[in-house]
Structure 1
Amino acid sequence: MLRTVLLCVLFLLGGWAAARWLTCDFQVWTDEGARRLEVALRPVPVPPVAVQGPAVTAPDLPALLTTDGGATIVDFIYTHCETLCLSLGSSFQQLQAALQADRTAGHTPGVRLLSISFDGARDDPAALQAYARGLRADPALWRFVRVPDGAQQRALLRRLGVVVVPDGRGNYEHNAALLVFDARGRMVRIFDMAEQQMALDYARHLARRPQ
């Protein structure tokens, strides 16, 4: 009887230790949660991939993210998407409205929005311009770019943990999140679409904080 009790206790202790290790001391329970914790603890610098977009003169993504300081909220989209990207566009419209309200109230937002297309073959600057116009994007607050080089685009998606899978019919299955970058061009936090207010509040805090 005692031996059985001792074995059960050892089994439970072993399970507790394994769970603690796998969940980073019980802080996360999923792969996505682990990814978000890792980013928060170790910000991820973007690779120097070339970008193109309407009225964008920065030669690469790090230069675009670090111009004028502040913080940037980023999403990944493609203009032919009729599902998830529509929700992302709606979230960014609401974020833009909040930033415009800040500006109207006399506060410098210090936060910008950036949509990056992962369909670089079709989403040239003209297509991105039309897409931005359809969303009534304010170019002072919300910009759109693509990464024209396929190898660089794959490297960027891999670095940031963005999953994009072609469905064979010209569309893509992809994850969706709001990625917050600091003034040094580093991804510092990841939020769900439903956490857009949290993403905005954090970006505002980041923009006010000395870098």
Structure 2
Amino acid sequence: MRTVITCMLMLVLGVAAFSQVSAGFRVVTSEAARRLAVREQPPLMPDVGLVDARSTGDSLRADLAADGRIALVDFIYTRCESVCRVLGNEFQQLQQAILEQGLQERVRLISISFDPTHDTPDALARYARQMQADSAVWRMATVAEARELRRLLDAFGVVVVPDGMGGFVHNAAIHTLGADGRLTRIDDLGAIGSALRAAAARSGGRAQ
């Protein structure tokens, strides 16, 4: 009898613990829990300085506030030949969809390089031309001060590890930022349709 009671107590404690770490059974991974938390309580992103392909400098939050549009943001480095290529292709598709659906006054794209040593304004400009980026819709930028990079990556949940060959291994996602500088949504690669629809809805528009 004592054994049964002990087992039942352990089961109850285990279920309670799992409920706590899975946000009430709604998610089962820490990344999913983070994404749910972002949707429920959008965090304010750090106001780091940026410099773009036109050598224009401002802070992230100042840029968002001045522009007023919902921003879909990814993190890349221009020399990447793997996951960044996928991100680049998806952002090209997003740019096309934004223009075709007339959403360019409501939604825009920002690609932020985490390799400021190599991704100078000139390098970002070359990458923008390569990706056929419309500067009115798609901005290329990197951090103005390398020391601010870690704070920015941590806030977005981006993990970047040197690969030992001059490049990086990193995770990838599409991040939705409001004009108030808050991160409201995170979507996986391949989810550009749902990311754009959500961004358009948040902006008061509607994506197909």
TM-score (norm 2): 0.92
Secondary structure of residue in 1 paired with 2:141 = strand
CA-to-aligned-CA distance 1:80-132 (integer Å, 9 cap, x gap): 000000000011011111101022xxx55400000000000000111111111
Equivalent residues in 2 for 1:80-95 (5 A)? 80-95=79-94
Asked if residue 167 in structure 1 is aligned to residue 160 in structure 2, the reply is no
1:31 corresponds in structure 2 to 30
2:66 corresponds in structure 1 to 67
1:18 corresponds in structure 2 to 17
Q: Which one of the candidate residues 116, 127, 131 is aligned to 2:127? A: 131
Equivalent residues in 2 for 1:103-142 (5 A)? 103=102, 109-142=105-138
Secondary structure of residue in 2 paired with 1:67 = helix
- Please tell me whether the aligned partners of residues 104 and 137 of structure 2 are also in contact (alpha carbons under 8 angstroms): no
Q: Distance in 1 between matches of 2:203 and 2:55?
A: 21
- Please tell me whether the aligned partners of residues 44 and 160 of structure 1 are also in contact (alpha carbons under 8 angstroms): no
Q: Distance in 1 between matches of 2:52 and 2:78?
A: 13
Q: Which one of the candidate residues 180, 183, 187 is aligned to 1:191? A: 187
**Percent identical:** 44
- Please tell me whether the aligned partners of residues 44 and 181 of structure 2 are also in contact (alpha carbons under 8 angstroms): yes
Runs of 4+ in 1 over 3 A off after TM superposition: 2-5, 55-58
Q: Distance in 2 between matches of 1:12 and 1:185?
A: 43
- Please tell me whether the aligned partners of residues 91 and 109 of structure 2 are also in contact (alpha carbons under 8 angstroms): yes
1:53 corresponds in structure 2 to 52
* Bigger Cα displacement from structure 2, 59-68 vs 83-92: 59-68
Q: Aligned partner of 1:206: which letter?
A: R
CA-to-aligned-CA distance 1:171-199 (integer Å, 9 cap, x gap): 00111000000111111111101211111
Secondary structure of residue in 1 paired with 2:49 = coil
Residue segments in structure 1 that go unaligned for 5+ positions in a row = none
- Taking only aligned residues, the RMSD between alpha carbons, in angstroms, comes to 1.6
CA-to-aligned-CA distance 1:114-164 (integer Å, 9 cap, x gap): 000000000011111111111111111101001031111111112221111
Q: Distance in 1 between matches of 2:104 and 2:77?
A: 30
- Please tell me whether the aligned partners of residues 92 and 131 of structure 2 are also in contact (alpha carbons under 8 angstroms): yes
Secondary structure of residue in 2 paired with 1:74 = strand
Secondary structure of residue in 2 paired with 1:47 = coil
Residue segments in structure 2 that go unaligned for 5+ positions in a row = none
Q: CA deviation at 1:31?
A: 1.4
Q: Distance in 2 between matches of 1:66 and 1:84?
A: 30
1:7 corresponds in structure 2 to 6
